[in-house]
């Protein structure tokens, strides 16, 4: 009788573990941010479809490959080494930068690098990549418009005063 209860408890625990695993896999697979997991040496362990789409790599082709070789240029490597140092200190790293796609083109990204530890031992990291190309384009356009307006104000032969919505002179 006790053996039956043990077996039933084990089956229930296995079912709960399977549900949790399915839930976590669904989160990773369906998240719009590119996700990649790396081991302590920086080798790719897995990635999600959003990562594959963003960078043009297929998971099967990059597992075991150093992420630094896949996504960076020589100019970007010092930045990556600084991120790694942050991860080794078990701290989250946040970067707005560019990374290289499989075709060699660069893409503007925001990256969160999160250390992963099991029983206080650093086992690697999970990196989340968000494509910010559109945001950067809008920022550049805004800067261009601001520069243009400032040059108009600075070179105008007529005095121009800028007043905010509260009637205060800026």
Using one digit for the tens of pLDDT, what is the confidence trace for 89-132?
888 989 999 999 999 999 999 999 999 988 888 889 999 999 99
For residue range 38-56, list pLDDT tens digits in order.
Answer: 999 999 999 999 999 999 9
Instruction: Check the CA dihedral 102-106-112-118 and report its sign.
Output: positive
The predicted pLDDT at position 82 comes to: 85
Percent of the chain at pLDDT exceeding 70: 99
DSSP state of 163: B
Contact 79, 157 (CB under 8 A): no
């Amino acid at each position: 009788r006790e053996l039956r209860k043990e077996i039933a408890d084990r089956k229930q625990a296995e079912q709960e573990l399977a549900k949790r695993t399915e839930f976590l896999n669904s989160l990773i697979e369906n998240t719009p941010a590119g996700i990649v997991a790396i081991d302590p040496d920086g080798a790719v362990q897995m990635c999600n479809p959003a990562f594959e789409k963003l960078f043009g790599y297929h998971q099967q082709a990059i597992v075991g490959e150093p992420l630094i070789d896949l996504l960076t240029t020589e100019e970007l490597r010092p930045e990556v080494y600084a991120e790694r140092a942050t991860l080794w200190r078990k701290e989250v790293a946040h970067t707005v930068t560019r990374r290289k796609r499989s075709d060699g083109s660069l893409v503007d990204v925001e990256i969160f690098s999160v250390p992963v530890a099991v029983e206080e031992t650093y086992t690697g990291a999970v990196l989340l990549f968000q494509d910010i190309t559109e945001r950067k384009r809008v920022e550049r356009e805004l800067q261009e418009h601001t520069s243009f307006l400032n040059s108009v104000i600075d070179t105008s032969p007529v005095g121009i005063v800028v007043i905010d919505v509260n009637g205060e002179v800026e």
